Amino acid sequence: MQTDLVTLGLKLAMKEPGCPICRLRQKSEKRYLLGILRENVNDPATRAKISKSLGFCPKHGWQLQHMEEDIWHDGLGNAIIYQDLTRQVISWLDSYSTIQEQAQSDRLPKRIAGTVKRFLGRSSGGGEGMCPACAIGAQSEHTYLEWLVRWLPQPEFRELYESSDGLCLDHLRYALDIAEEEKPESVAILIASALKKLKALEEHLDGYIGKHSWHRHTEEMSREELESWKKAVAFFSGEEDICRR
């Protein structure tokens, strides 16, 4: 990815609600999945990757399905991908069945039986390769975090970051790791900003909980208090499908 595109992406994401890195990661994954449906269903390299990982993780498998149904009101792209995968599993199961028969008559080397069993023991999207959409997401997450950490001490960037919703817990930990290694002056900025936001969140959660009690239930809640429990989920678990918003 080009440096100016990375910086621009970060700046725009920091102006949007929620963790900017969750947003950018989800955007890259979505772009990749859309690309498959738009032009790469028949691309041999794309198909090889999908075949290596035996499809996608649950999140991206269903995202691809919903995407095709919502945009094209059809499922041809998915059908072509899964026709391939289905044939692959059928052929492995056929081999497994033959191997089982041979194993019972003790004619099969254990090594071959082990290979087939390992294949069957893989989880969805967790074949030899990682789910291809997760791999794209992880790569872009790392690039954006590296640049965020690198640019953070710069005043304009820092101001933008501080006025954003900040990073979710996972991305904060990841950013701190990168900062410790590559840009130690960013560590203090990341911590100070996270503390400020978490203290505000704690206060809003207090208000939300307090105003549920019988003697305060008529008090009106602020927007921040009303949203506090959802913001807390987003901080601890990461943002849920933020690109749709």
For Zn ion, the binding residues (CB under 5 A) are 19, 21-22, 57, 60, 131, 133-134, 168, 171, 238
The CB-of-223 to Zn ion minimum distance in angstroms stands at 22
For residues 200, 201, 205, 208, the Cα torsion angle rounded to the nearest 10 degrees is: 70
The CB-of-147 to Zn ion minimum distance in angstroms stands at 15
Q: Please identify, using beta-carbon distances, which residue of 64 and 189 lies nearer to Zn ion.
A: 64
- Distance of CA 188 to CAs 71, 76, 228, 236, Å? 44, 51, 25, 21
Q: Please identify, using beta-carbon distances, which residue of 168 and 201 lies nearer to Zn ion.
A: 168
Q: Please identify, using beta-carbon distances, which residue of 173 and 212 lies nearer to Zn ion.
A: 173
Q: Please identify, using beta-carbon distances, which residue of 35 and 210 lies nearer to Zn ion.
A: 35
C-alpha span between 113 and 194 (Å, rounded): 52
The CB-of-172 to Zn ion minimum distance in angstroms stands at 8
Residue type, 237: S
Q: Which residue has the tokens 């997401």?
A: 137
The pair of three-digit structure tokens given for residue 2, joined into one six-digit string = 């080009």
The CB-of-159 to Zn ion minimum distance in angstroms stands at 20
The CB-of-167 to Zn ion minimum distance in angstroms stands at 6
Q: Please identify, using beta-carbon distances, which residue of 165 and 225 lies nearer to Zn ion.
A: 165
Q: Which residue has the tokens 């203090």?
A: 188
Q: Please identify, using beta-carbon distances, which residue of 141 and 225 lies nearer to Zn ion.
A: 141
The CB-of-189 to Zn ion minimum distance in angstroms stands at 17
